[in-house]
Chain A
Amino acid sequence: MTIAKLSRAVLMGGMAWGMIATAAFAADITFWTWRQEDKAAYEKFFSAFTAENPDINVKFEALPDTTYPTMVSTGLAAGKAADVIHTHAYGWLDQFVRSGYLEPLDEATVPSLANFTPDAIEALSFREDHKVYSVPFATMTLGLFINEDVFEKAGLTPPTTWEEFKTVGDALKSKGIIPLANGMGTSWFNEMFVSVFAGPFLGPEFAAELSTGATTYKDPRYAAALSKLLELRDYMPPNFAGVDYETAGQLFLSGRAAMLAGGSFDIANYRKLNPSLKMDFIAPPAASAGDVPHASKFYDGGYAVNAASPNKEAALRLVNWMGTTEFGNMFSNTLGNISPINGVEITDPILHHVAELNKTAVPHLNVVYFRFGKPTGSEILQANITKMMSGDMTPEQVGVEMTNGIATWFAPFQGK
């Protein structure tokens, strides 16, 4: 299309002009994110950055999360994307790196990368060249919310093992309280629900073997862990199949339910919705007493630099700053999420708890390992887990479906 070419030429001309203009004056760079709700917090962070780097101004732009990947990819393709881009980790990052749109980072250009564990760096690296493309920003921990008021009133203590969970659950039920608020009405959360309760039964060894293909989801250990979820049905709300994650949150916050499988990302939100509630975030029930607690964990994403940015130097300085303890402290204590930066001090008691859980957490399996090709492990699990919970599918069948689906793009699973 000639019109397209023409407009592209005009656009490029405009950009070239922009480059000249910005070279002479202070650099104005743009930051894109899907976190619309964090606008105020980020604007505060960026003014702190500008106070230290008066030659760089950062503009915050939030895009809707439903179309975020589309907007970022077309923005990058058209040369109109922001200089610094908020990315998810793992397979999500993979597709942008593969197209050559993001700038590889190293400790020469971004010294603060030294502040991260190898685990965090790996989550934001491209698997084929082992280079890191995004400065990690948060870990997400999946575990069990406890409504302490409800437990206190019922004269019970939160469970630590599976057997305790069932005894406590029965006791709560006899008092007319829903033990576990969750339903199966929100498919993205169902996957997290599986990780919360199956995680302690699978443990880190299974995750390690699975990631290399030494074992698959057809492993009897996986089926055994999934079959534990079936026992939970007695403790979930009536009509749990249709209870979505928001309703579950309401049941939990209003005290109609005592526990809620959830993510650390909701701590701040729940606190805002019910400031007077006494709650805690604990590890999901362990297989047997004395086991190491195993919450599940994944890296949510990071801050990447647009490879075509005309202000690459300024953008690199910003992402470097976003890897420092100074930023990490601000981030964790303002947004109530765990920054993976070493040396960050967490003041909030519940977040402190989460940080402790992180030390022995297991990976959130599909997100960490199986979102690199189509169909992703996530979409297969989400499609089948409701069938299993309604009794239309066995745990073994779910494992077979997942293994066969992932095998279409993950060679180590092929023929197993």
Chain B
Amino acid sequence: MKADWRSKPFHLSRRSLWIAFLLAPAAVIMMTFVVWPLVSALQLSFFRFEGLKPGDFVWFENFYKVLFQSPFRDATYNAFWHNIVVFFALMVLENGVALLIAYALLKELPGHRLHQVIVFLPVVLSAVIVGFLWKLLLHPLFGVVNAALGLFGIMGPAWLGSEATALGSIVFANVWHWIGFPALVLLAGMQRISREVLEAARLDGAGDWTILTRIVWPLIAPSVTIVTVLTFIGSFNWFELPLLMADMEGSPGRSTDVLALYFYRTAFGSVTSGIQDFGQGSALAVLMFLFVGAVTFIALKFLRSRELEI
């Protein structure tokens, strides 16, 4: 083909037109609805908004406010901290349990197909359904969870109403919603390990725990990398569940506030308490974007190098 386009310039132009025709629609849509908005977000973050119109160009004032000026700063760090907590909680509760489920499924005991289908079922449901369902189940007076605890004579807590339990309750709903995803991704990683390796270890008398930690774990490193990075991105984009199960304000008392909620509230205002500020909102968005991008990049480098070592 190479010789083709060097020797026939006329053919080249028809061929390039054909290639351009193939590329153009996707490129135009991406430029219009992804690239341009992202560039604009950066631009908006440098303006002070007078009411709803961009006013003066103020350099980094919006960034300064959300990072260093109280009380915006306090809200930013509070939300940021919750994102971190959510990430680690999901790593342990969601991915940790998913690893065990995957290993149990790897044994291909009778009914394992059914169990795969069951554990993945909530993954296909909308966050709206999951959020509202758990909000009703966790209702402090009429919810099924507290009714069940009541059978054992336990007075259940207020769950979403108490600062001590609210974030944990939403994390739990998230685990229930998503656990099938890491479970089956890790299972796929495990199924790629050669059976001889596992059989050999078993014949040597290794128990399940040893096999899981010493053989399976190192060999599924690529899947673990992907799951970790996706959990990180997911934790820092956490929005739907806290919005639906708590509210836009991160109630009670900002205990469920996360960056995406704070960003949304800052940018669009909340009907009951706040006014809009596109400038500060855009600054938050740019910071979140940079942070998630940078950490993902570094993590991929680091985890990939770990994979190579192993």
Complex contact flag A–B (Cβ < 8 Å): yes
Interface residues of A (CB under 8 A from B): 1, 3, 34, 65-70, 73, 76-77, 91-92, 94-99, 101, 183-188, 191, 237-244, 247, 371-376, 378-380, 382-387, 390, 392, 401, 404-405, 408
Chain B nearest CB: distance from A397 CB in Å? 12
Please tell me which one of the listed residues A101, A241, A378, A387 contacts residue B158 in the complex, with CB atoms under 8 A apart: A241
Contact indicator B275/A408 (Cβ below 8 Å): no
Contact indicator B276/A73 (Cβ below 8 Å): yes
Contact indicator B247/A187 (Cβ below 8 Å): yes
Task: Report whether over half of chain A's contact residues are helix, strand or loop; otherwise say mixed.
Answer: helix
7 sample A-B contacts, Cβ–Cβ < 8 Å, listed by A number: A95-B51, A237-B141, A241-B158, A242-B140, A243-B141, A243-B158, A383-B249
Residues of chain B within 8 A of A77, CB atoms compared: 52-53
Chain A nearest CB: distance from B74 CB in Å? 9
Contact indicator B161/A374 (Cβ below 8 Å): no
* B71 adjacent to chain A (CB < 8 Å): yes
* B96 adjacent to chain A (CB < 8 Å): no
Given contacts A1-B36, A374-B274, A375-B274, 16 further A-B contacts (CB under 8 A): A69-B268, A69-B269, A77-B52, A99-B52, A239-B156, A239-B161, A241-B162, A243-B158, A243-B161, A372-B275, A378-B274, A379-B274, A382-B251, A386-B252, A392-B253, A408-B70
User: B221-261: contact bitstring with A at CB < 8 Å (1 yes, 0 no)?
Assistant: 00000000000000000000000000101111110000000
Residues of chain B within 8 A of A241, CB atoms compared: 140, 158, 161-162, 252
Residues of chain B within 8 A of A386, CB atoms compared: 163, 251-253
Residues of chain A within 8 A of B274, CB atoms compared: 374-376, 378-379
Contact indicator B272/A96 (Cβ below 8 Å): no
Contact indicator A376/B275 (Cβ below 8 Å): yes
Cα A99 to Cα B280 with chains together (Å): 17
Residues of chain B within 8 A of A99, CB atoms compared: 50-53
* B277 adjacent to chain A (CB < 8 Å): yes
Cα A408 to Cα B162 with chains together (Å): 30
Task: Report whether over half of chain B's contact residues are helix, strand or loop; otherwise say mixed.
Answer: loop
Known: A91-B275, A96-B51, A374-B275. A242 touches B249 (CB 8 A): no
Residues of chain B within 8 A of A186, CB atoms compared: 247, 251
Residues of chain B within 8 A of A247, CB atoms compared: 139, 141-142
* B157 adjacent to chain A (CB < 8 Å): yes
A392 closest partner in B (C-beta): B163
Contact indicator A374/B280 (Cβ below 8 Å): yes
A251 closest partner in B (C-beta): B141
Residues of chain B within 8 A of A243, CB atoms compared: 140-141, 158, 161
* B190 adjacent to chain A (CB < 8 Å): no
Residues of chain B within 8 A of A384, CB atoms compared: 253
* B271 adjacent to chain A (CB < 8 Å): yes
* B120 adjacent to chain A (CB < 8 Å): no
Residues of chain A within 8 A of B275, CB atoms compared: 91-92, 94-95, 371-374, 376
Chain A nearest CB: distance from B89 CB in Å? 20
Please tell me which one of the listed residues A70, A91, A382 contacts residue B249 in the complex, with CB atoms under 8 A apart: A382
Chain B nearest CB: distance from A205 CB in Å? 26
Contact indicator B253/A69 (Cβ below 8 Å): no
Residues of chain A within 8 A of B273, CB atoms compared: 187-188, 191, 371, 376, 378-379, 382
Known: A243-B161, A374-B277, A386-B253. A69 touches B271 (CB 8 A): yes
Please tell me which one of the listed residues A375, A378, A392 contacts residue B72 in the complex, with CB atoms under 8 A apart: A375
Cα A379 to Cα B275 with chains together (Å): 10
* B160 adjacent to chain A (CB < 8 Å): yes
Contact indicator B157/A239 (Cβ below 8 Å): yes
A381 closest partner in B (C-beta): B273
* B117 adjacent to chain A (CB < 8 Å): no
Contact indicator A68/B280 (Cβ below 8 Å): no
Contact indicator A183/B161 (Cβ below 8 Å): yes
Residues of chain B within 8 A of A3, CB atoms compared: 32
Cα A69 to Cα B53 with chains together (Å): 14
Interface centre among B254, B269, B275 (most CB of A within 10 A): B275
Residues of chain B within 8 A of A405, CB atoms compared: 71
Contact indicator B141/A239 (Cβ below 8 Å): yes
Cα A191 to Cα B272 with chains together (Å): 10
* B134 adjacent to chain A (CB < 8 Å): no
Cα A374 to Cα B274 with chains together (Å): 7
B275-291: which residues lie under 8 A (CB-CB) from chain A? 275-277, 280
